[in-house]
Every structure is written in structure tokens, then in C-alpha cells.
């Protein structure tokens, strides 16, 4: 059975419950916090009294769009944050939202003479079931595909610096010095002085020794070269993808082409 989906603004006797927030005008973000747009309308199923989709106007500057674009996001993928009035979308990346088709609910609802043209939608995926002249009904089957992108993110830093330490060193250095040696020896024989003068007399002998002279000078002993290089690694990306499956159930007396007897070859 096909569900009748309409925009909330077009249903006069249908309003948001008092205990539920009206998210129209709220900011929409991805799971990693990227802003993608703003909620403009709620797509509801009046008979079930439930919201099925959020109609989101994408940020034209963020997605580099020339014209406005509205997409329909299933309500199952939305998580509401009442504190900062934002809607977080899980299971859909920014790249996946960028390639989503234009919302059929926002483009097909136009006013006509004496009546309002409102289309019908089938299934949770929001795909319309069309009926042709040959009485055939087409129901599309959709499934989610995983698209993985990459972006540069700063995860840390390496700080390289240097500091000064003081080390006490001791070295043995040989030095020379002079030492005065005084000897007393007797004079043999009868040595008479030419002229005896009894007076005080003295001589001075300078003593010399080496002293240590130190000098400190900076010498480059080592250098540290800092650089970066790119390495490749492999990471496993996990996601839950939803797929639609066809369920065919027979009720009553139904005859299909596969149940009908096939004619024999040769006309018998």
C-alpha cells in the first residue's frame, strides 16, 4: 500500500506535538560536526501521524552551489540536540549528501487552478510509484552505498628544542717551576781574602714557575636535522548500509505468468 507523504506546511490539521520540538530552522550537521544546511520543512505521513523525512536546504557556499538545493533526509538518520538546536545526521557523509537528488517534495508541490497538486510517495526511501498506460506499476529498490573520502587532520606535534647544561671537568696539566738550592761547602787551604770587609751583604734570586691559563670557546660538536616525510597506512572503515528488499506476498486467487501452463512446441 502506497503511503501519502506531504509537506507539513500543506497539511492544515496536522501540527507538531507539544512535547516534540519543531526542528524547522535548525542547523543540520554531520556526525563529525560539519555544517551542511538548515531544516526547511518536515515531510509527514498524515494517516500514520509520523514524520518520515527532513527537507534540508544545503549551504550554497559550503557545497559550491549556484542555485538552491533541497534534499530529503530520512528521519531515522537524524539525532536532535535541543541544547544548541541542531540536527546531527548519522550514516550519511558530507560527500554522500552532496550527490543526493533534489527533494521531490519541495519541487513537485505547486499551486494549480482551484486545487493543489500533491504527489504521492511510496516506501521509507521516498521513491514514487508510477503507473503507466499498460497498467504496470514500477517500484524502485534503493540501497545505500559507502563513499570514503580523505582529509588532512592535525593529530599532534613534535617539539624539538635545546637547553644548556653545566658539567664540571677536571684535567691534569704538567707545569714547571724553579726551585732555589743553597749549598754550603768548606774552602780548603789558606785562602785569604784580598781585602776583608765586614758588612752586611745579600743577593736576590728570582724564582719562576708556570701558571695555568684557561680559556673557554664554543665548538660545534653535533647538529640535528628535522624534517617530515609521508608514509602510507591502511585503515578499516566500517559502516552500516541499508538495503531495500522486495517482499512479494500472494493474497487470494492470484495467477502469475510463472503459474500458467506453457504451450508445447509444435502446437500440441
User: Which tens digit of pLDDT belongs to each residue from 171-205?
Assistant: 899 999 988 888 888 877 766 666 666 677 788 88
Phi/psi of residue 36, each to 5°?
-120, -20
Joined together, the cell numbers standing for residue 170 give: 677536571
Give all strands (DSSP E) within 104-244, no chain letters: 110-112, 115-117, 130-131, 137-138
Fold that domain 6-154 belongs to in CATH: SH3 type barrels. (2.30.30)
Phi/psi of residue 7, each to 5°?
-75, 140
pLDDT at residue 85, rounded to an integer: 92
- 161 or 115: which leads in pLDDT: 161
SS3 83: coil
How would you label 54-83 residue by residue, b for 16+ Cβ within 10 Å and e otherwise? Answer: bbbbbbeeeeeeeeebbbbbbbebbeeeee
SS3 107: helix
Q: How many CB atoms lie within 10 A of CB 116?
A: 10
SS3 116: strand
User: What confidence tens digit (pLDDT) does each residue in 78-87 have?
Assistant: 889 888 999 9
**pTM given for the model:** 0.39
User: What confidence tens digit (pLDDT) does each residue in 13-23 have?
Assistant: 777 877 788 89
Alpha helices in the chain (DSSP H): 94-98, 104-107
Amino acid at each position: 500500500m502506497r503511503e501519502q507523504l506531504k509537506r507539513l506546511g500543506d497539511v492544515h490539521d496536522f501540527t507538531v506535538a507539544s512535547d516534540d520540538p519543531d526542528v524547522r530552522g535548525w542547523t543540520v550537521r554531520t556526525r563529525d560536526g560539519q555544517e551542511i544546511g538548515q531544516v526547511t520543512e518536515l515531510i509527514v505521513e498524515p494517516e500514520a501521524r509520523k514524520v518520515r523525512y527532513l527537507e534540508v536546504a544545503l549551504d550554497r557556499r559550503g557545497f559550491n552551489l549556484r542555485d538552491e538545493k533541497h534534499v530529503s533526509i530520512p528521519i531515522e538518520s537524524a539525532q536532535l540536540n535541543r541544547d544548541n538546536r541542531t540536527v546531527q545526521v548519522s550514516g550519511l557523509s558530507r560527500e554522500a549528501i552532496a550527490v543526493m537528488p533534489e527533494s521531490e517534495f519541495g519541487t513537485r508541490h505547486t499551486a494549480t487552478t482551484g486545487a493543489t497538486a500533491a504527489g504521492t510517495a511510496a516506501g521509507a526511501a521516498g521513491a514514487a510509484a508510477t503507473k503507466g498506460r499498460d497498467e504496470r506499476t514500477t517500484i524502485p529498490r534503493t540501497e545505500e552505498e559507502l563513499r570514503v573520502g580523505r582529509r588532512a587532520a592535525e593529530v599532534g606535534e613534535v617539539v624539538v628544542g635545546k637547553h644548556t647544561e653545566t658539567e664540571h671537568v677536571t684535567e691534569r696539566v704538567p707545569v714547571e717551576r724553579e726551585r732555589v738550592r743553597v749549598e754550603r761547602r768548606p774552602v780548603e787551604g789558606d785562602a785569604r781574602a784580598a781585602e776583608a770587609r765586614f758588612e752586611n751583604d745579600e743577593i736576590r734570586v728570582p724564582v719562576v714557575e708556570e701558571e695555568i691559563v684557561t680559556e673557554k670557546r664554543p665548538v660545534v660538536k653535533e647538529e640535528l636535522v628535522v624534517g617530515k616525510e609521508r608514509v602510507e597506512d591502511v585503515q578499516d572503515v566500517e559502516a552500516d548500509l541499508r538495503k531495500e528488499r522486495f517482499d512479494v506476498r500472494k493474497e487470494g486467487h492470484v495467477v502469475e505468468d510463472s503459474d500458467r501452463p506453457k504451450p508445447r512446441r509444435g502446437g500440441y
